[in-house]
Amino acid sequence: MNNTVLPPAEPTSEQLTGLSMVEWAAALRERRLTAVECLEQHLGRIAQANPRLNAVVTLNPLAREEAEAADAAAAEGRLLGPLHGVPFTVKDTLATKGLRTTAGSPLLGDYVPEQSATAVRRLQEAGAVLLGKGNCSEFAVETHSRNPLFGDTWNPWDTSLTPGGSTGGDSAAVASGMSAFGIGTDFGGSIRWPAHCTGIASLRPTPGLVPETGLLPYVPPADGSLPAPNSMSALHRLGTVAWLARSVEDLAVLLGILAGPDGVDPSTVPVPLGGPVDSLAGITAAWFEDEGTYPVRDDLVAAVRNAAEVLEGQGVPVTHGRPPGIERAATAFVALRTAEGMPEVVELATGREDELGANLGTSLLGATPGTVVQYRRAAAERDAIRARVLGFMEEHNILLLPVASVPASDPRIRSFTVSGKDIPWTELGSCCRAISILGCPVAVVPCGLSNEGLPVGIQVVGRPYRDREVLAVAAALERAFGRFSPPPLSSRRAD
């Protein structure tokens, strides 16, 4: 951890956005400020930046009560947990007890869960203070965070650009200092693309480590309970709860808090995480320019190449080469997702189709879900690709590749030309989709700036359940390239 000094009672925006979650936690633990003071600083930042960014869409009216409870405990000499008093936001697809949870859809505009998602509950039990809900695309489908309930969220680096999607509200909140960290989800890149767009760090843990209980879409049960995630669903088998923060150290702390079965999600397994990996000894790596179907801009490829050279300089054997079969992976992901369809959303929308947003309504109502045979065929293709890539990873433990073909972009531009090839907006994240079907842990860490001066993140991919190894490599890159830096004032029009 760097030695950032806690800002004074009236901190500047730069001081607020530069502190990591771990640094806020240390300041609270050491009584250098109270939880209420910490909350007030973050609420002040929300008042300052949110009108331009539209990142936090629902504030928690009980946040002050939670902060006061933390201060009362501290006065008695007790800490509520490792995140005592630290404010955080939650993607609006994760249930929050007593706080509206909409998934960005009018279909759930009035839904107030009676229970919180397991991940949210564990964070609050660790002492964190729930600030509110981060904006997302409707039912987390699009790669830009906009929906018919709350509108668009914008990037603190440039408010004409996307902060990514579907966890864009939390990425904008964390990057602009409104929240110490954000909890969201990642299926096809919903945490990785936002981290890349806003210059922060993220972790998509190995699917199965963190329960997805309380993750929409689902049809809310009449008894107020949270349904068990469907173990046959591609969304739950390939996706996972994931998080965004300002340092790799933050990501590691959150992993330790969030991992482990909850007795509800049948896909969560009790795998020991092990202790932190303090050395890169024995780790090998491979890097490649793209996943094999859509090219990546040269300046973003250069960031991956530079990361590979950093690891080589630290004694890690690094090979330049793409794993066999991965060029089929993004297509396999789309085939599996398409064959499954979105049955929970269809059930929610039946008889209320006109309430869906235009983009989701068009794609959902015009789609024909696959048969069981087609779903099985898509799953078999996924398994075959995964076996080949994981075989490659026995010799090359870590994969380094881009997050996307371009940096954060204007969501109104629907096509990009890279290396002479047209790339539709919907295909910018093929590098993420290709990794999603592997069931691997993935960290995104910023490794420089693009030609326009925008952040560039790279994917650090590891073998299943080797999350600590991934974090060790990400931390080494963070030390070399520098931890998250707030967007420069000249670019950050949110202020």
Catalytic residue among 145, 171, 190, 430: 190
137 is catalytic: no
Whole-angstrom Cα distance, residue 439 to residue 209? 11
CA angle 271, 275, 279 (to 5 degrees): 125
Q: Report, in this order, helix, strand and coil percent for the chain, each rounded to 5.
A: 40, 15, 45
DSSP per residue, 348-378: HHTT-GGGS-HHHHHHHHT--PPPHHHHHHH
405 is catalytic: no
DSSP 95: -
- Non-local (6+) Cβ contacts of 210 within 8 A are 118, 119, 240, 241, 258, 259, 260, 268
Task: Collapse the DSSP code of 490 into the 3-class scheme (helix H, G, I; strand E, B; otherwise coil) and give the result.
Answer: coil
CA 337 to centroid of chain Cα atoms: 19
Please choose, from the candidates 125, 122, 127, 123, the residue with its C-alpha nearest in 3D space to the C-alpha of residue 26: 127
Task: Collapse the DSSP code of 472 into the 3-class scheme (helix H, G, I; strand E, B; otherwise coil) and give the result.
Answer: helix
91 is catalytic: yes
- For residue 454, give both structure tokens: 């925008």
Catalytic residue among 105, 137, 145, 166: 166
Catalytic residue among 13, 20, 91, 202: 91
Whole-angstrom Cα distance, residue 342 to residue 337? 8
Burial grade of 388 (CB within 10 A; 0-12, 13-18, 19 or more): middle
Helix axes 248-258, 21-29, angle to 10 degrees: 70
Q: Which residues are catalytic?
A: 91, 166, 190
